[in-house]
Amino acid sequence: MPTEYPGPLVSQQWLYDHLNDDNICIVDATVHLPDTGRNAKKEFTEQHIPNAIFFDLSDIADPNNPLPRKVPDRNLFSEKVGQLGIDNSTHVIAYDTPGLYSAARVWWLFRLYGYDNVSILDGGLHRWKQCRNPTTDKRVSREPSDFRINETRDLLSKKEEVLACSTKGETILDARTLGRFSGKEADRYPGTRPGHIPGSANLYWANLLNSETRELLSKADLEETFKLSGIDVDQPIVLTCGSGLTACILGFALDRIGKSKWKIYDGSWDEWGRDQDLPIEIDN
């Protein structure tokens, strides 16, 4: 019998107890930026959670966009996800190596295309190993299937909409470090200017996680952290970051506290910071 959907966040113990459930597909969605010198695919082949497959966010992306990992259109997303053996009865469990960094992007992509049967493993592989749960280098394969998209939700912002929000003084929340946001540190994306979108606020994504376990904070602590950022979570919010990865953590955290008026700026600073026609702001 299919496992009852446990919600968008599952614990290490829950996944350990359900590792062999037929309707579950565990996906490793790890992304390592070039400046880390790490290769996510190679690391996956050496060690991953049993029965996991690799969800390549660089491949499940718009091939016509020069920036990496941009949102694929619905037809390509449907095709690529189906090739992984995911259909409309599959419960997708996403994780990444650091704990929570890129896995939230998988949750958001499925949400964007109307599919909610997706969960994030709390603390990812980092916590999985802390709990002394098993890992393997054994690869598994799944038979390709059909994944149908029945709707596209309004969870995506493009730069024109973000510029309009900035001009009108509407809420934009940036997930990068304070140093990169302020312009006092060089950004991780070569070729981008220092600074941030004018009028935006800052909430570093890692502040939403327990620093030791990399698990998401409690709902009460998430609410307090958003409050300290100075934004009104009941108003529409555009979420941005370096390249559209960690902004999805902010979106996931907002969803956890029952807030739904948010969108992800897919291009984020990797796009905005390169476009000389777009305004920037640097803190003194």
Q: Where are the domains of the chain?
A: 9-130, 156-272
- Active-site annotation holder among 25, 131, 165, 241: 241
Secondary structure string (H, E, C) spanning the chain: CCCCCCCCEECHHHHHHCCCCCCEEEEECCCCCHHHCCCHHHHHHHCECCCCEECCCCCCCCCCCCCCCCCCCHHHHHHHHHHCCCCCCCEEEEECCCCCCCHHHHHHHHHHCCCCCEEEECCHHHHHHHCCCCCECCCCCCCCCCCCCCCCCCCEECHHHHHHHHHHCCEEEECCCHHHHHCCCCCCCCCCCCCECCCCEECCHHHHECCCCCCECCHHHHHHHHHHCCCCCCCCEEEECCCCCCHHHHHHHHHHCCCCCEEEECCHHHHHCCCCCCCCECCC
Instruction: Return per-residue pLDDT of the chain as tens, 284 residues.
Output: 456 899 999 999 999 999 999 999 999 999 999 999 999 999 999 999 999 999 999 999 999 999 999 999 999 999 999 999 999 999 999 999 999 999 999 999 999 999 999 999 999 999 999 999 999 999 999 999 999 999 999 999 999 999 999 999 999 999 999 999 999 998 999 999 999 999 999 999 999 999 999 999 999 999 999 999 999 999 999 999 999 999 999 999 999 999 999 999 999 999 999 999 999 999 97
CA of 12: how far to CAs of 25, 95, 130, in Å?
15, 11, 10
pLDDT value at residue 1:
42
**Burial status of residue 82 (CB atoms within 10 A of its CB: 0-12, 13-18, 19 or more):** middle
| Range 9-130 has CATH code 3.40.250.10 | yes
pLDDT value at residue 284:
76
Residue from 28, 78, 88 nearest 53 by CA: 28
- The rounded distance, in Å, linking the Cα atoms of 166 and 184 is 21
Record: fold of 156-272? Oxidized Rhodanese; domain 1 (3.40.250)
Asked whether this chain's domains 9-130 and 156-272 adopt the same fold, the reply is yes
**241 an active-site residue?**
yes
pLDDT value at residue 2:
56
Q: Is the pTM of this model over 0.95?
A: yes
**Burial status of residue 199 (CB atoms within 10 A of its CB: 0-12, 13-18, 19 or more):** middle
Phi, psi of 14 (to 5 degrees): -60, -45
Q: Which residues contact 74 (CB under 8 A, 6 or more apart)?
A: 113, 149, 152
pLDDT value at residue 4:
84
